[in-house]
Chains A and B, each alone.
Chain A
């Protein structure tokens, strides 16, 4: 033994065993093969960043931006097909039978990422079935930051995942940003002025805008509240910085067949017998109690089409697995700052897994509306209109659509390209009725001493690597975490890194705790996990209990 340790044998064996274990079955291994670049569009959020994928053989191993960066979610998106929380199979036949069994009763599709070609398939199918097509907001606005000089943002993460990063960055030097927010968020840190407001007082602050010193200079107000549109109209932002969200042209027959867009809040309570939810990728989350309120009392059927188990799959009778970026061909909805029509395809970088279903095909089969070739039909309609240019990422060229054949246009889009119609006239903003927010019963500060501050929504899956990074670096609050001021943490008897129960009048949810002096006393910053959002309504009061 003593002699052996003085030889290379044991040390070599230790190293070799470590190297050998890297090649065990189950350890992901990028294929060996030709190294090449492929181009696509990130479909994880409406920003739709241009992506250059370094592929070894057919396997993407590195995603980077084209003429700009990707956010950490986009950079690690090629890990998502292998995520352990992926939903891989589901009761498709049973769900189909349950939905068919309710034929003729109120059916609706809830689209949590409206503005895609799939959204039109849902609308057409609902049109044919006399159902409802529901979105979180009926008439989304589009904002032109390049025309803004002073922007007042009430808690909007303008510089942190809102809109298209390249457009926001290009416009940033030309506008002054005032951020009104309870916490000094990343956007607040980068703003010219941060106005700290009491947690939960966003609506009251919005109403006081006319009294602000900067009120006259404002060219745009951003925020979540129902009063924001009216304020923008009053300051004359409509037609200057606020427009209607534009969409690329669609085949004329689609518009005739399509059901109207209805805001989810406008649906009468207890009227939906069958609800089909598309949550891949969801750009917002409606807490489950609000969904439940719209369902018929007697045996409703809810089918969610999801890539993971963390969202509505926890509540729905049926959760069916869907493919997601970067494994499926899809288009990307226009972003909040798209004032002119745009059309981008997220071309798949890996093969679509077996056993997945798409809501478009599901409703297409139910309604008899053909949906198999809709992306090509839409690309042909755009090409036929002959407007705008195709920007191809690989060679960074812009080519007028008129100069391309329909096949070349389609090929360009599939190989990483973006169609834009730069000289289109922006659509006028339609003043929608103020969003009907359910009246929240008065919550007593005596029972629930803390006001919940929500993190920006990110419902999708994130790479396990990213999860590790943000849990260790504190750059983002992990979705399953809450953050508390040290004094409130002491009062609640919880410690940094410990576990606790977050309670609201809607229920309770197990969370992990971060103690952070940057959180105002009397508030609790809550992560964006659907479980937390389910128990935290808008500005809900909450209580943290140690477990």
Chain B
């Protein structure tokens, strides 16, 4: 009977560990589907597209992000191929001229100012360093939205970094001796 206390404690710890590691992520993240089943791989291999062909910079250097429908319908005026995804894209978006409501993995909190051009042109970072090998993926990863904060669980595309936290930005800046001031990112 002497061991009863430690056993109850250990059981409690195990239950809490299980709930925290297995149950909590299911509870806190809601999986949402992207509007279009998009393959980066097909676009890269068959159309020979490079990242910046669609994820372009504007003339003033700001980053346009996910391309608008206009860009897609430049090629997809009619279905290119016979896949279900392609048919869905043409019927639901191109024909009615409706912008797909893409779920953006890398959406930043409102108080963060992130300049793509500074990172890619001045910092010489490759897209993959932050976004993982998305360019070669055949489908978009599931979008897991944090129910409390509303942000995506994973912005890095499994590029070996944890979910979006300031620590990840700071760690990289620190490595490059570029942690100048709060105002670099927080305007």
Contact = CB atoms under 8 A, between A and B. Distances in A.
Interface of A: 1-4, 6-9, 12-13, 15-17, 19-20, 22-23, 27, 29-30, 35, 37, 54, 61-62
Contact of A54 (B13, B15, B20, B62): B62
A17 B28 CA distance: 12
Interface string B145-157: 0101111000000
A61 B112 CA distance: 12
Contact of B110 (A3, A17, A22): A22
Contacts of A54: 62
A206 B113 CA distance: 50
A12 B25 CA distance: 10
Contacts of B67: none
B148 A6 contact: no
A62 B148 contact: no
A459 to B, nearest CB: 26
A37 B60 CA distance: 8
Contact of A15 (B15, B24, B149): B149
A19 B164 CA distance: 11
B20 A8 contact: yes
Nearest to B28: A12
A20 B24 contact: no
B109 A19 contact: yes
B20 A9 contact: yes
B111 interface: yes
Contact of B149 (A8, A16, A29, A37): A16
Contacts of B13: 2-3, 6
Contacts of B16: 1-4, 6-7
A19 B151 contact: yes
A462 to B, nearest CB: 17
Most chain-A Cβ atoms within 10 A of its Cβ — which of B17, B24, B25, B110?
B110
A513 B124 CA distance: 48
28 contacts: A1-B16, A2-B9, A2-B12, A2-B16, A3-B12, A3-B15, A3-B20, A6-B16, A7-B17, A7-B21, A7-B24, A8-B21, A8-B25, A9-B19, A9-B24, A15-B165, A16-B28, A17-B148, A19-B148, A20-B148, A20-B149, A23-B110, A35-B58, A35-B62, A37-B60, A54-B62, A62-B113, A62-B187
B125 interface: no
B62 A12 contact: no
B48 to A, nearest CB: 28
B20 A22 contact: no
A62 B110 CA distance: 14
Contacts of A29: 110
Contacts of A35: 58, 62
Nearest to A13: B148
Contacts of B60: 37
Nearest to A76: B187
Contacts of A37: 60
A13 B62 CA distance: 33
Given A3-B12, A29-B110, A19 B17 contact: no
Contacts of B58: 35
Given A19-B109, A54-B62, A61-B187, A3 B14 contact: yes
Contacts of A61: 187
A27 B111 CA distance: 10
Nearest to A469: B183
A23 B24 contact: no
Nearest to B23: A9
A286 B26 CA distance: 66
A22 B109 contact: yes
A1 to B, nearest CB: 7
A384 to B, nearest CB: 35
Contacts of B149: 15-16, 19-20
Contacts of A22: 109-111
A54 to B, nearest CB: 7
Going nearest first, the 9 A-B pairs with the smallest beta carbon separation are A7-B20, A3-B16, A3-B13, A19-B149, A16-B148, A9-B20, A9-B24, A4-B16, A16-B149
Nearest to A7: B20
B168 to A, nearest CB: 12
Contacts of B151: 19
A13 B27 CA distance: 12
Nearest to B187: A62
Interface string B136-163: 0000000000101111000000000000
A6 B17 contact: yes
Contacts of B111: 22
Nearest to A1: B16
B165 A6 contact: no
Contacts of A13: 148
B20 A6 contact: yes
Nearest to A61: B187
A139 to B, nearest CB: 43
Contacts of A15: 149, 165
A353 B74 CA distance: 42
B61 to A, nearest CB: 10
A29 B12 CA distance: 43
Contacts of A19: 109, 146, 148-151
A452 B32 CA distance: 66
Contacts of A1: 16
A3 B17 contact: yes
Contacts of A2: 9, 12-13, 16
A62 B28 CA distance: 35
Most chain-A Cβ atoms within 10 A of its Cβ — which of B9, B24, B149, B165?
B149
A9 B17 CA distance: 9
Contacts of A16: 28, 146, 148-149
